[in-house]
């Protein structure tokens, strides 16, 4: 999908999707997904495959034995989670390695996993939910690459993303949520994922979805994941406010959130 011409006029480059991820997206869209074809595709890029294996064997997933091949990873974790890890590694590789972005990528891993599993439990497209979680803050990486000498100071100065987007608009004429959505769109993510990335800062700050937002379930899961990762003591209140706006059952949302949170905590305990 093309990037908004208004963003192109700002002379801020949106990285193109790596060819291996284009092919992976096509495999994911097939009715009958060929796991062997998927593992072979990932393994054609040695650096990407190595990064995927390192992530799979991290404490985040808490596997009981060390996984040695991509095919084993697919067997243990399933197609969606391995595909999401591959997208995450491909996304990271599109930007320069920087200490200031490590926290962005760390949150992306946890948030994507939370959202994908919650989506699966709630009957919401888990691939859209997982990819939305991975890409939620990717606009920050776009701005970091655009202004590496100035943007880190903005990241340090802002205590909340709502403050950060105001600094970004003043400095660049655009904010990371808009840039992140543009990247998602150009990389062919589902419309629900694009919408979640575009509106996540506003929704998290106000717990109110904009009237213009048509696809709401993934955005609601994003907000609940944000509460789990940052304000777990407010989880009940957040779910009570956000679930009805997306026509989701509050009780089921809370049950899914707590269950997935427990899964991640158990995995990390086991992986230590």
The pLDDT tens digits for 21-44 are 999 888 887 777 788 888 999 999
The residue-averaged pLDDT of 212-226 equals 96
Better-predicted residue by pLDDT, 216 or 8: 216
Q: Distance from CA of residue 26 to its chain's centroid?
A: 19
Residue 11 has pLDDT above 90, yes or no: no
Q: How far apart are CA 228 and CA 236, in angstroms?
A: 10
Class of domain 99-271: mainly alpha
Structural domain boundaries in the chain = 19-93, 99-271
Better-predicted residue by pLDDT, 118 or 78: 118
Q: How far apart are CA 22 and CA 4, in angstroms?
A: 20
Better-predicted residue by pLDDT, 24 or 176: 176
Helix residue ranges per DSSP H, the chain: 5-8, 19-29, 35-43, 46-56, 70-77, 79-93, 99-122, 126-135, 138-146, 151-157, 161-172, 176-186, 191-206, 217-230, 235-242, 250-271
What are 97-145's pLDDT values in tens digits? 999 999 999 999 999 999 999 999 999 999 999 999 999 999 999 999 9
């Amino acid at each position: 999908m093309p990037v908004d011409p208004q963003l192109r006029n700002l002379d801020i480059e949106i990285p193109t999707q790596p060819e291996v991820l284009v092919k992976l997206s096509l495999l994911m869209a097939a009715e009958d997904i060929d796991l062997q074809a998927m593992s072979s595709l990932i393994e054609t890029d040695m650096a990407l495959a190595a990064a995927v294996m390192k992530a799979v064997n991290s404490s985040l997933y808490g596997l009981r034995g060390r996984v040695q091949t991509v095919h084993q990873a697919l067997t243990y974790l399933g197609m969606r989670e391995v595909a999401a890890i591959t997208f995450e590694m491909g996304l990271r590789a599109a930007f320069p390695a920087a200490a200031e972005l490590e926290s962005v990528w760390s949150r992306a891993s946890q948030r994507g996993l939370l959202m994908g599993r919650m989506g699966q439990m709630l009957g919401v497209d888990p691939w859209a939910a997982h990819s939305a979680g991975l890409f939620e803050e990717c606009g920050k990486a776009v701005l970091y690459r655009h202004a590496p000498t100035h943007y880190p100071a903005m990241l340090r100065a802002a205590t909340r993303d709502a403050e950060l987007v105001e600094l970004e608009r003043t400095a660049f004429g655009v904010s990371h949520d808009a840039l992140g959505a543009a990247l998602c769109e150009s990389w062919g993510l589902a419309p629900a994922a694009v919408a979640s990335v575009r509106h996540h800062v506003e929704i998290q700050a106000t717990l109110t979805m904009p009237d213009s937002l048509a696809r709401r379930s993934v955005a609601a899961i994003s907000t609940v994941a944000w509460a789990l990762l940052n304000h777990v003591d407010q989880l009940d209140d957040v779910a009570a406010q956000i679930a009805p706006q997306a026509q989701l059952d509050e009780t089921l949302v809370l049950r899914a959130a707590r269950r997935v949170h427990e899964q991640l905590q158990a995995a990390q305990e086991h992986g230590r």
